[in-house]
Amino acid sequence: MSDQIERIDLVCEVNNTDHHTLQNSVDRLIVRRGQPFTITLHLRPGTHFQNGDNINFIAQTGPMPSVVAQTKAKFSLSRFISRSSWSATAETSDSTVSLTVCSHPNAPIGVYKLILDQGERIGLGEFVLLFNPWCKQDSVYLASEAEMEEYVLSQDGLIYRGIPKRITVLPWTFGQFEPGILDICLQILDESPNYISDAALDCSERRNPVYVTRVLSAMINSLDDKGVLVGNWSDDHEDGVKPTVWKDSCSILQQWSNDGCRAVRYGQCWVFAAVACTVSRALGIPCRVVTNYGSARDSNGDLVMERFYNEFDENIANDSIWNFHVWVENWMTRPDLALGYEGWQASDPTPQRRSEGVFCCGPAPVRAIKEGELTFKYDIPFVYAEVNADVVEYIKLRDGRVFKMGGSTTEVGKSISTKAVGRDEREDITHNYKYPEGSEEERRVYEKANHHNKLAQAGEEPGFHIKIKVTPDMQIGSDFDVYAELKNNTMVTKSCRVMFYAQAVSYNGKLGETCGLGNCLIVSYVSGSKVTLRLEYAEYSKAINQDRMIKLVALLIDAETRDFYRAKKTIILDGPEIIILGVPKVGQNLVADLALQNPLPEPLENCVFTIHGANLTDGKPITHEVGTVGPKEFVTAKVQFTPKLPGQRKILIDFASDKLHNVETYENLVIYE
């Protein structure tokens, strides 16, 4: 037969158009499972194609194709195309044979080889097989054309962030059809630990979107594997890209692939979710990005967010609530579960906890979350808590006594949002995840979920409020006042005790020594009382570090009910200003005239000015020691440097001493030839 075929035409443009993959490419055959595609064989002159029983085909994928594993299919020519199995038909003319091939609607996705077998085997070409939301027999079938346009074909979208009262919109480019992206998405599957440990089994499991979604949930983050993104929730992103800088998925996926599958730095929840959406849509799984406001992170699985604090507002529990959290939903059937739990499945690629030993989460049927079916797969208790946990706050005193400060049944799981179909508007899908607060259905679900810690009065605002106020003049070295303002909205005369603390703190939240402490008993107040705490340099100077941060905590205790209310604020003490006297003139040698006043009531020892600038200071800092500076004294210095190249440059100036660090400023200079 091979000597009869002159040329094989995969008819990519026509097939890809029919299979909704034309945006990928016209140079490559990309088809969806359970849907026929056509290949044209151009015969050599004078030859004739024998349409008979000895015409067989093989379609295979993966490194170890197997009929048993469904990664290899053998089928013959038949009179009609079957939509429920691999099949092929042929139409012949004098010089061409038009082969129509249809894959099994449950075939594994991936790169396939199609082989004609007539005793000798002839490779007819390669094609990529994807999930098919347009095929009723496919487990990702989606009936609405508008929803397929939005959740499969749309290459851009909106991601919601912020807080419920001020929801912000981030436009995002998913770009699933951009050149090379589909190959990178398939590469992600091939780099997973599942493929590396057992490639044959992994390729076989790729017929199941539940399995593929779970692999993606693990592989979009870099924990446990060669995943795509490193998470970073600190303020230090110097060795990578700030999560807020990303606006599209393609640059992240391309960087990961081009850099030898080294994880891209850095992502946070919305970046993880957006990349997962791109990969899901590229592979043919309908996907949308979802934002949950007041998202609980339940560390012990009890469905209650128990926040324990000490007197200094240090959280001594592992539970936390994020202002918002973003994940994705994928559309599919769930043959592994009871009927009724098909449809949207929540999947979270942000690494928060291990699931079956791996940092992944889902797919969790959204309906199972709403119904409190916590025994269903996968990770429903965790997602359920994210949208439905109760919040109870306690304070634990040094003598071991524990008091409840308050709580809420409505703080968690608000305004769950996704982009509307076909419109640049927000769709609120909270009702998909939970019944209305306080409804009979909600009661039933909470019972089923073993959630018996509801507060008696859902959503009530506490009668007391306490707020910390500060003055603008809080320079290191000075003494100053901070205030705790009290407000009583109950219109009932109350007695209370106020405990007001100041404590040194580092930028990462680590608490240091106490540097201010006050107790006050207020009898019979209605509203508007104020408690003053004076912070004196003699006290706070012994506690603070170079970050110059102080955490203020005020506790209001109802003398009658022993209820606690809390306010907190972190302040940063202003450092002295470095003054640059005059403007350095252009020339060979420049001089920076520097001046600074010691703000402290005590001397500064080992005082040093340092200047540094690219192409200004010969690649290394220039230091100028000025020794001791007395209390409130000015110190001046002349520091000489020689520019190396023309252009606009920044010269950075730093002052350090035994008691004062991290005092910095800069000046822009223009250096001419």
Closest-CA residue to 419 (of 177, 138, 174): 174
Q: How many other CB atoms sit within 10 Å of the CB of residue 15?
A: 22
Active site residues: 269, 325, 348
Closest-CA residue to 488 (of 549, 598, 563): 563
In DSSP notation, 600-653 reads SSS-EEEEEEEEE-TTTSTTS-EEEEEEEE-TT-EEEEEEEE---S-EEEEEEE
What residue type is assigned to position 465 of the chain?
H
Beta strand ranges found along 526-621 (DSSP E): 530-535, 549-558, 564-572, 579-581, 590-597, 604-612
Angle 551-555-560 from CA coordinates, rounded to 5°: 175
Angle 654-657-663 from CA coordinates, rounded to 5°: 35
Phi, psi of 272 (to 5 degrees): -55, -45
Beta strand ranges found along 377-525 (DSSP E): 390-396, 402-408, 414-419, 426-428, 464-470, 480-488, 494-505, 511-525
Whole-number Å distance between alpha carbons of 521 and 279: 60
Q: At what angle do helices 209-219 and 269-283 cross, to 10 degrees?
A: 140
Would you give the distance in Å from CA 547 to the centre of its chain?
A: 28
Question: Residue for token digits 């928060």?
Answer: 352
Closest-CA residue to 496 (of 472, 470, 463): 463
Beta strands 229-231 and 264-267 are: parallel
Q: List, as residue ranges, the binding site.
A: 388, 390, 437, 442
Closest-CA residue to 270 (of 281, 278, 282): 278
Whole-number Å distance between alpha carbons of 300 and 298: 6
Q: Which helix (H) or strand (E) holds 371?
A: helix 366-371
Q: List, as residue ranges, the binding site for Ca(2+).
A: 388, 390, 437, 442
Q: Are 497 and 559 in contact (CB under 8 A)?
A: yes
Q: Are 466 and 567 in contact (CB under 8 A)?
A: yes
